[in-house]
Amino acid sequence: MELEKRKNFKEMMLKYQFAKKRLETEMEILLQEYELSYGYNPVEHIKSRVKTMDSIRKKLTRKGYKVTIDNILRHVHDVVGFRIVCSFLSDVYDLVEIIKSYQQFIIKEENDYIKKPKDSGYMSYHLNLLVPIHLFNQTEYIEVEVQIRTVAMDCWASLDHKLRYKLPKKLPLALEQEMIHCSTEMMKIDAKMQELYKIVKKNKIRE
């Protein structure tokens, strides 16, 4: 029974790997098509990963669930994670529309944490996609979480993660407030860079 259980977990994790590879390939194609059409790639860089079993186990334990395949499928929505970093705010929303219009993916859930940031100050656009993987005699849809953000948002999120999760204790209230303040300043930088980008685009069209 224990051997069968390990086999089932291995099969599940393999499917997550397949979904990651499938989305990596599809995103590469979509971005190449976009660049061919508009002469511009809206993406600075993409990072992707599949959570380790240890990380999955810790997340389920924090939520109060036993480590089972059913609980992973029900309660861990970011086993496969993509972080897509864009240059400008408009690029984020352009990319969201590109992904949403692609008929191979099913949108399971979406959250705009840019227009409505989290209480912590976190900003990003989240799409939970169901990505098809083709097996021997069937097609299965595997959930993938995609986070799309600007360079400024990514900088803030990376530093916040180090402060919040790498330190042994909860952040002091004063530090929490400073992080929210920094998030607000980052938002102002994004807005300013967007305005500069608009000016550059207008001048380029006139030329």
What's the pLDDT score for residue 207? 47
Domain containing 123: what range? 2-151
CA distances to 32, 39, 97, 108, 140 from 26, rounded to whole Å, are: 10, 19, 15, 18, 16
What CATH number does the domain containing 66 carry?
3.30.460.10
pLDDT of residue 163: 79
Give the residue carrying structure tokens 């599949």.
50
pLDDT in tens, 39-70: 889 999 999 999 999 999 999 999 999 999 99
Within-domain flag for 184: no
164 found inside a domain? no
Residue 113 domain flag: yes
Report yes or no on 58 lying in a domain.
Answer: yes
Residues of the chain with pLDDT under 70: 1-4, 166-169, 204-207
Domain count, the chain: 1
Length reported for the chain? 207
The type of residue at 187 is: M
The answer to whether residue 186 sits within a structural domain is no
